[in-house]
Structure 1
Amino acid sequence: MRKILGQHHVSMFTKDAQTNVHFYRDTLGLRFVKKTVNQDNPFMYHLFYGDIIGSPGTELSFFELPHAGKTYRGTNSISKIGLLVESEDALNYWKQRFEELAIVHGDYTIYAGRKALPFEDPDGLSLLLINNASAATPSFWKKWEGSPVPMEYQILGIGAIELSVRYPEKTAKLLTNVFGYKEVSATEDLSVYQCVEGTAYSDIVVKKLEAVKERPGRGSVHHLAIRVADPQALQEWASFIKEQGYTATSDIIDRYYFQSFYFRERNGILFELATDGPGFPADESIESLGETLALPPFLEARRAEIEAKLTPIK
């Protein structure tokens, strides 16, 4: 039962929810699949984007922190997020789109062995579009016909996730000895690991960075979630990770859309293991995802109080 299936989602901080929605929905063309709240602080928005239903492996999530300060970049952080596109033609489309819309971006580069286009979101989050070159992706990833981006150029899902750490051997031990990833390439300061051989959607890049520890703020990454199949597998993983001496920061939590377990690896980076289901259509139809504020059942009785303290999102 213990098998990691690739990325599940990545969670970040944004300063302004409306600006965030405009960028990820209207500029990047992702579907805004869930407008909900931080279940641990329900007066904070928690926004999710992805494919047509926010399938596991396509989900980008953001906590809104209106008073968030600047991120001071440093080590022991999740430092870069890759997003997959189908082809080099798609990269060329996005470079032109970024130039037309004055989106901060760099030149083409090679990242984790694939052609890529670096760019930033309005909060300064470091992102990459990566050419998947028509390689396999999970069969359940489905494009969104309502996107402002043509189907052939749409973002498919999450690709390489970069971890910058002071002691890369400690992170490597977790990935290989605990999670079963394999190192597929390495240079002096950077190694690429995969849990599904030959797939960009399972890439984790570990980069050695001897620097001060990152001070998070707007545009920083809170945690990386990786996929497990179901609650039984999650229970087995939680027990196994504790047996290996890692510091759990929670018991298993029912997030309503999936179940989760959180722990920190030896450099302090927060990992989440999350189940594939039940998914975001659990409380909304596929057609109406993201249109209204969705609350898990245990918060529904507080809806009026919560809505009164949130700034409406168009």
Structure 2
Amino acid sequence: MTPSTSGAAAASAGPTATAMRLEGIHHVTCITGDAPGNVDFYTRVLGLRLVKKTVNQDDPTVYHLFYADEEGSAGADITFFEYPGASRGRAGAGMVHTVTFRVASEDALAFWEERLAAEGIAVTREPGRLRFDDPEGLGLELAASSVADAPLVARHPEIPAELALQGFDGVRAFSSDPERSRRLLEDVLGFSSTGSADWEVRGVARGGLYAYDEPPAGAGVPGAGTVHHVAWASTMEEHEAWQRRVTEAGMHATPVIDRFWFRSVYFREPSGVLFELATLGPGFGIDEDPAHLGESLILPPAFEHLRDRVERVLTPLPDPRAGWAS
């Protein structure tokens, strides 16, 4: 990948740290060992839209699948690297263990309790929440939410819009010492404490939650059903200033990396969770008709010369909406 090096002088005169705000969660990237099963679960069962079928830009022989709302919006985008046949992993200290999506109401939770049970998926229901795992053991949760953020909803013939998933509510990670991360989260990234190990990050348009829990015994094991990283949303204008800010805080951040659909900065926060700061744009419509997102394998221009090679090794995947009525 080629780091972005433009605008250094302009960036130095850019937004002040105190004015900058992250716009909640941008995306959450996970690992799967079964791309066809992954597509089936996240599109057919959970009702998300496959909005980009592409490759891992650090290992282009591996799928990178993006599921989100109808528009492919940041804030609703759960993504997966596929390592075919990967063994199931286990979340431990320094890893996200639960991804929470918003729904509109307790009625929505009742709908999902019934729908997931019909798929043979064990669920745990409590007031305001429904907990379950995806087929590879990734911890998922639905939370009845009343925040004012715009609902990020995908169309699905079996799921009424008022009952559909509405984007991310937050993520929970394991940490044996959350205090190690407090200064970074609050003083550097602008998270607001809402409890002893709980925070909210809120910008102008969206917000999201981040929390730590006591880790289980034994080290975590990356693999299928685990989270690779969580990305927080930055405006394009503030992105280079964020890179400087986290670097000056000692986080050993990467340079800005151009991922074509967004730009990224990566660093590992003090409790060990891999963070990304990703821009709100250019977006998935830059190289596909928005009406046909996710139907074809799309490679960023810098990777197009690898198409013949990667198409030979990637498992063919159907268009999840191919059987829908027009």
TM-score, length of structure 2 as denominator length: 0.88
Following superposition, the deviation at residue 105 of structure 1 comes to 1.6
Aligned to 1:32: 50
For the 8 Å contact 2:49–2:155, the answer to whether it is kept is no
Following superposition, the deviation at residue 200 of structure 1 comes to 8.9
Q: Which amino acid aligns with 1:12?
A: C
RMSD over aligned Cα, in angstroms?
1.8
Give a deviation string over 1:253-286, Cα, whole Å, max 9, x none: 1101100000011122110000000111111111
Aligned to 2:167: 157
The equivalent position to 2:211 in structure 1, one of 184, 205, 214, is: 205
Q: Which amino acid aligns with 1:217?
A: G
Aligned to 1:222: 228
| 1:87 aligned onto 2:105 | yes
Mapped partners of 1:97, 1:200: distance in 2? 28
Q: Percent identity?
A: 38
Aligned to 2:304: 300
Mapped partners of 1:72, 1:155: distance in 2? 25
For structure 1, the residue ranges without an aligned partner over 5 or more in a row are: 110-114
For structure 2, the residue ranges without an aligned partner over 5 or more in a row are: 1-14, 319-326
Mapped partners of 1:196, 1:58: distance in 2? 15
For the 8 Å contact 1:32–1:48, the answer to whether it is kept is yes
Quick one: structure 1 residues 18 and 149, their matched pair in 2 at CA, closer, same or farther if it must change by over 3 Å? same
Following superposition, the deviation at residue 212 of structure 1 comes to 3.1
Quick one: structure 1 residues 147 and 7, their matched pair in 2 at CA, closer, same or farther if it must change by over 3 Å? farther
For the 8 Å contact 2:34–2:85, the answer to whether it is kept is no
Q: Which amino acid aligns with 1:154?
A: A
The equivalent position to 1:174 in structure 2, one of 170, 184, 192, is: 184
For the 8 Å contact 1:51–1:157, the answer to whether it is kept is yes
Aligned to 2:259: 255
Q: Which amino acid aligns with 2:115?
A: R
Give a deviation string over 1:184-227, Cα, whole Å, max 9, x none: 134xxxx2211229x99411112233643311111000000000
Mapped partners of 2:152, 2:172: distance in 1? 25
The equivalent position to 2:291 in structure 1, one of 276, 280, 287, is: 287
TM-score, length of structure 1 as denominator length: 0.91
| 1:19 aligned onto 2:24 | no
Spell out the pairing of 1:182-201 with structure 2 (5 A cutoff).
182-186=192-196, 191-196=197-202, 201=207
Give a deviation string over 1:74-115, Cα, whole Å, max 9, x none: 222111110100111100000011111111322325xxxxx1
Q: Which amino acid aligns with 1:83?
A: F
For the 8 Å contact 2:191–2:201, the answer to whether it is kept is yes
Equivalent pairs, count: 300
Q: Which amino acid aligns with 1:290?
A: G
Aligned to 2:125: 107
The equivalent position to 2:155 in structure 1, one of 137, 145, 151, is: 145
Mapped partners of 1:236, 1:252: distance in 2? 10
Mapped partners of 2:122, 2:107: distance in 1? 20
Give a deviation string over 1:98-138, Cα, whole Å, max 9, x none: 111111322325xxxxx1100110110001001013x211x
Q: Which amino acid aligns with 2:103?
A: V
Quick one: structure 1 residues 154 and 24, their matched pair in 2 at CA, closer, same or farther if it must change by over 3 Å? same
Structure 2 residue matching 1:175: 3-state secondary structure: helix
For the 8 Å contact 1:83–1:157, the answer to whether it is kept is yes
Following superposition, the deviation at residue 150 of structure 1 comes to 1.1
The equivalent position to 1:7 in structure 2, one of 13, 25, 34, is: 25
For the 8 Å contact 1:6–1:202, the answer to whether it is kept is yes
